[in-house]
């Protein structure tokens, strides 16, 4: 599968993130869809097409970590790049162990996101 055609899904309740990250990822050649909640992503047809998930750790309703657990339960092995505005030293190891790709604290650089997504795509 070509990186240029891969779908990156973003799940973040922050509207500014849902507006800015897709532009950057599209510049890198990816298709991008953005969702304001884990539940919206889970009920979308994008779940089965997503090659990498850029996922906020703290979301209203189902958390990012809970979404990842549910995706695994449903049989979806989507690589995850976790993003968060709240750097929690206890949450970081759990997220890194779960995604094995990245845990980025907002604000992060475009280069950090690009590196994390490309690393995730190598394994998919």
CATH at 61: 3.40.50.2300
Domain count for the chain = 1
State the DSSP H helix or E strand holding residue 32, giving kind and residue range, or none if neither.
strand 31-35
Q: Is this prediction's pTM over 0.85?
A: yes
Residue 2 has pLDDT above 50, yes or no: no
Q: Quote the pLDDT of residue 96.
A: 58
User: Alpha-carbon distance 56 to 64, whole Å?
Assistant: 6
Q: Which domain holds residue 108?
A: 3-122
Name residues whose C-beta falls within 8 Å of residue 107's C-beta, 6 or more positions apart in sequence. Answer: none
pLDDT tens digits for range 29-52: 999 999 999 999 999 999 999 999
Q: Quote the pLDDT of residue 8.
A: 97
């Amino acid at each position: 599968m070509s990186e240029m055609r891969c779908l990156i899904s973003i799940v973040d309740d922050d509207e500014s993130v849902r507006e800015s990250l897709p532009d950057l990822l599209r510049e890198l050649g990816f298709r991008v869809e953005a969702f304001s909640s884990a539940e919206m992503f889970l009920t979308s047809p994008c779940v089965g097409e997503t090659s990498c998930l850029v996922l906020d750790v703290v979301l209203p309703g189902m958390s990012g970590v809970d979404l990842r657990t549910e995706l695994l339960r449903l049989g979806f092995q989507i690589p995850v790049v976790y993003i968060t505005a709240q750097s929690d030293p206890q949450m970081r190891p759990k997220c890194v162990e779960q995604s094995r790709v990245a845990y980025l604290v907002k604000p992060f650089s475009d280069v950090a996101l690009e590196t994390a997504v490309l690393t995730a795509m190598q394994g998919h």
